[in-house]
Structure 1
Amino acid sequence: MSNLPTGAPDGAAFAASPLTRAVLEIDEYAAGFGWDQPARFFALVDTAQLRAQEPGLAAQLGLEEQQPAGGPGGVTYTPIEQDQLPAGQELDEFLATVAWPEAVGGCAVTLERLMLPPSAEAALPEGLGGSELADWVAKHPERQEVRMTVGVLRDGAQECAIRLREKDTATEVLTGPELVPGLAQALAATFAD
């Protein structure tokens, strides 16, 4: 298991919610590896609880006691990268096998995909699925390469960040809770009893 650097990216420091800050921190971390990377999966843990329950790990991560409080109730989330996703397994299949201990307050994933604008969906040939659909999207002239970072909390809160490859800067990252609803729902299901 590896962990994120302690310095928050420029936008993360001013983000409205602790979850938004965590998602932007993960986005910036993934951006440091460049493009054409595998998906990465993260546990989100309450930073104060991490300091109290795992002081050695907190010190190793550089989580100083005097760091400012995050959001409501002073909560901040520390993303902790999990083992690499199994090669050859679809993300939805993998997520169906995940269950979190109580200490984990949320989770996030960052992955790269090709996206099309809504106008391109009208031209989608009927009956395409799987690899045929992927090939059609890959050849479409309006395709965009994106990195999506999606995070959810146990309480149902969700946040997404999307970075376009052609606008690969932290100031151009789009955020919002409903940008990738299907993936957010799949992540939230990992907390279902």
Structure 2
Amino acid sequence: MIRRARVFTDRAWAPAIVSPHLCNLLTLYSVPDSGQERERIVTMSNTPMAATPLTRAVLEIDEYVSGLGWDQPARLFALVDTARLRTEQPSLADRLGLGDAQETTALTPIEQDEIPTGKPLDEFLGTIAWPDAVTGCALTVERLMLPPSAEAQVPKDLDEAGLTKWVAEHPERQEVRMTVAVLRDGTRESALRLREKDSATEVLTGSELVPGLAEALTATFEE
């Protein structure tokens, strides 16, 4: 279950606004084909038992956002160690509905307030830092992607607006929702869901599917 940060007065997992980090968040990605570190996921209930807590958190977020439909804004989540939260703040865990949780290795995703629409996503990520109570963070965002075969066709003299228009008009474009999560220790995981294959059986997972976005999220934990 995804928890909403805004409904609680304790902001132990909300990011603080700090001086900008240098983030490199690409707006153009290649559509991944099958390969190492990628697997197809059926449903949340069928997630392999060997899957890590981070993988399960990513799939939980993907499932939650998919229920909201497409054409959604980017969404930011804090990842909280469920066992630590129950031990250190039991009353707060009860308020979050985690008091009876049985799993001791789980991560609880907590959705943050809406991301400002007037600022580029990479600039926004470069201005936040997380409190110690947060173990990791995750982001979902929709983007247009091109297959590797189309990258050689990209005109060299386009500015950002021109590139966006060119990609949007390309016949091989794919609309994709990316869910990327990282932990403080650098561990990362991601899930990709194509709009034309909007099914849990078609979700791709892997730690290196969206490296640029993973690096930008990791930077939010730097001192």
When normalised by structure 1's length, the TM-score is: 0.89
User: Distance between the aligned counterparts of 2:207 and 2:59, measured in 1?
Assistant: 13
Correspondence 1:88-103 to 2 at 5 A: 88-103=118-133
List runs of 5+ in structure 2 lacking aligned partners: 6-42
More helix as a share of residues = 1
2:80 maps to 1:45: yes
Equivalent in the alignment of 1:26: 61
When normalised by structure 2's length, the TM-score is: 0.78
Deviations 1:41-82 (A, max 9, x none): 00001001122233333223332435233xxxxx21100001
List runs of 5+ in structure 1 lacking aligned partners: 70-74
Correspondence 1:44-63 to 2 at 5 A: 44-63=79-98
Using a 3 Å threshold, how does the CA distance of structure 1 residues 78 and 66 change in structure 2: closer, same or farther? closer
User: Distance between the aligned counterparts of 1:128 and 1:20, measured in 2?
Assistant: 37
Q: Is the 8 A contact 2:178 2:193 kept in 1?
A: yes
Percent of residue pairs identical = 66
2:199 maps to 1:169: yes
Equivalent in the alignment of 1:82: 112
Q: CA deviation at 1:13?
A: 6.1
Using a 3 Å threshold, how does the CA distance of structure 1 residues 152 and 11 change in structure 2: closer, same or farther? farther
User: Relative contact order (alpha carbons < 8 A, sep ≥ 6): 1 or 2 greater?
Assistant: 2
Correspondence 1:1-193 to 2 at 5 A: 2=4, 9-12=44-47, 14=49, 16-69=51-104, 75-193=105-223
SS of the equivalent of 1:86 reads: coil
Using a 3 Å threshold, how does the CA distance of structure 1 residues 11 and 86 change in structure 2: closer, same or farther? farther
Q: CA deviation at 1:171?
A: 1.6
CA RMSD of aligned residues (A): 1.7
Q: Is the 8 A contact 1:13 1:21 kept in 2?
A: no
AA at the equivalent of 2:160:
G
